[in-house]
């Protein structure tokens, strides 16, 4: 891998020797003797990788790492540390450092760290390219749907659907978090688990996006006999790390003895993913209190043989006026971050299951969304 790389160290000798090694590997090398200079260079050059010493006058390497990740989250940061700074080096992994190398720097250690950084950069590039292709596909499908006269009413919704892809792919954060932790800890099993989770959910995004377009064309759902816990567990597994990353507790509460039932599992998964994502966003926007915010995703059987899903949170809640407009087309409480499509699609999918969706909430007391699906489809 080549490109711009930045070395930050207050020792000129280290900058010089390390710079020669990196230049020999084909990198365009930039150097800085302190964190302030480093941030100026990063703003101008945007290097893909930064190597920084931990112990430096003024702003130290840990604080520089935090600043880089806040302003330029895609930049890979490798920490340089002495043997006496191992605790700080390990702490840096908590703040998303790619790796750390102990001084004196060996060629093998440098190569391994650079390879790891390159793999992370390539993974993000592939994911970004996939997302762009997916957005293009949705736009093209939208154009085709709008051309059909019988879908004129749906055209406006589908035209805005491409903008929701970014929200949907936000669900990948959980998988990427697992993968990143595996890379940082050099845990092959963890890396494999994270990568499989990412790949699986990328495929699911494509399938679900096309399914949503199909909902606009047809009233038919593809029912399958499935365990009603599975869509909820899939959402929980995907979103738990994202919730934890924001200091929240995501809890899965399933009743014992759930029996397989007929449903469109991809559609119900999408409904629950929308509700959990909205709950996390609401908690992010809530002033932190003494206790961690909680989101409870529960699955219960109903007396008539149906299924009840609930997503309840302890976040900011909403007033009656907001509740009355929640399911209107393109209404959103997220400003520019939202499109107003997610809850509308959720209600559409639930209604096509002959089910109901309701919400109870009070300002400052959280919200609870309840989906009730009837018994076996006949």
| 133, burial (CB in 10 Å: exposed 0-12, middle 13-18, buried 19+) | exposed
Give the mean model confidence (pLDDT) for residues 227-246. 92
Supply the pLDDT for residue 41.
95
Q: Which residue has the tokens 């992010």?
A: 284
Express each pLDDT in 30-74 by its tens digit.
999 999 999 999 999 999 999 999 989 999 999 999 999 999 999
Q: What is the DSSP letter of 260?
A: -
Q: What is the Cα–Cα distance from 61 to 54, expressed in whole angstroms?
A: 4
The predicted pLDDT at position 64 comes to 95
CB 341, CB 241: distance < 8 Å: no
**307 forms bridges with which residues in the sheet?**
301, 373
Tokens of 180: 């990143």
Pair 275, 346: CB distance under 8 Å: yes
CATH 3.30.565.10 placement within the chain: 224-373
Fold of 224-373: Heat Shock Protein 90 (3.30.565)
Q: What is the model's pTM?
A: 0.46
Neighbours of 198 (CB within 10 A): 22
- Residue 162's pLDDT is 52
pLDDT at 153 exceeding the cut of 50 = no
Q: Is the pLDDT of residue 216 over 60?
A: no
Which of 10-14, 159-163, 200-204 is least confident?
159-163
For 15-29, 136-150, 288-302, which range has the lowest pLDDT when averaged over its residues? 136-150
Residues composing the chain: 378
- 150 has a pLDDT exceeding 50: no
For the chain, the average pLDDT equals 81
In contact, 145 and 162? CB cutoff 8 Å = no
* Range from 129-143, 157-171, 322-336 that averages highest in pLDDT: 129-143
Query: Using 50, 70 and 90 to split pLDDT, how confident is the model at 194?
Result: confident
3-105 has which CATH code?
Answer: 3.40.50.2300
Comma-separated ranges of CATH 3.40.50.2300 domains in the chain? 3-105
pLDDT value at residue 149: 45
Distances in Å between the Cα of 180 and the Cα atoms of 96, 111, 184 are: 8, 18, 6
Quote the CA–CA distance of 220 and 67 in Å, as a whole number: 50
Confidence at residue 228, expressed as pLDDT on a 0 to 100 scale: 94
> For residue 214, is pLDDT > 50?
no
Q: What is the mean pLDDT of residues 318-340?
A: 68
């Amino acid at each position: 891998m080549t490109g711009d790389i930045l070395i930050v160290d207050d020792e000129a000798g280290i900058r010089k020797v390390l710079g020669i090694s990196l230049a020999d590997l084909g990198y365009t090398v930039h150097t800085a003797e302190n964190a302030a200079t480093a941030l100026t260079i990063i703003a101008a050059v945007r290097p893909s990788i930064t190597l920084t010493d931990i112990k430096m006058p003024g702003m130290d390497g840990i604080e520089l790492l935090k600043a880089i990740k806040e302003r330029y989250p895609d930049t890979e940061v490798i920490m340089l540390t002495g043997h006496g700074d191992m605790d700080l080096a390990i702490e840096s992994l908590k703040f998303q450092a790619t790796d750390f190398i102990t001084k004196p720097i060996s060629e093998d250690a440098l190569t391994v760290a650079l390879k790891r950084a390159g793999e992370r950069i390539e993974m993000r590039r592939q994911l970004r390219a996939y997302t762009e292709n997916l957005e293009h596909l949705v736009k093209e499908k939208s154009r085709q749907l709008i051309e059909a006269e019988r879908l004129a009413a749906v055209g406006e919704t589908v035209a805005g659907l491409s903008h929701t892809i970014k929200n949907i792919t936000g669900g990948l954060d959980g998988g990427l978090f697992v993968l990143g932790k595996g890379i940082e800890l050099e845990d092959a099993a963890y890396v494999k688990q994270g990568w499989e989770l990412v790949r699986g959910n990328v495929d699911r995004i494509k399938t679900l996006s096309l399914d949503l377009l199909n909902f606009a064309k047809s009233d038919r759902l593809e029912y399958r006999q499935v365990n009603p816990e599975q869509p909820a567990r899939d959402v929980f597994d995907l979103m738990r790390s994202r919730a934890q990353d924001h200091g929240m507790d995501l809890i899965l509460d399933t009743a014992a003895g759930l029996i397989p039932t007929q449903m469109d599992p991809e559609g119900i998964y999408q409904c629950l993913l929308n509700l959990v994502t909205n709950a996390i966003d609401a908690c992010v926007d809530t002033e932190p209190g003494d206790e961690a915010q909680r989101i409870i995703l529960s699955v219960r059987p109903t007396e008539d043989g149906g299924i009840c899903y609930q997503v309840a949170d302890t976040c900011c809640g909403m007033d009656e006026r907001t509740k009355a407009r929640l399911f209107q087309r393109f209404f959103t409480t997220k400003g520019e971050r939202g499109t107003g499509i997610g809850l509308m699609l959720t209600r559409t999918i639930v209604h096509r299951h002959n089910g109901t969706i309701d919400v109870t909430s009070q300002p400052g007391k959280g919200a609870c969304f309840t989906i009730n699906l009837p018994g076996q489809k006949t």
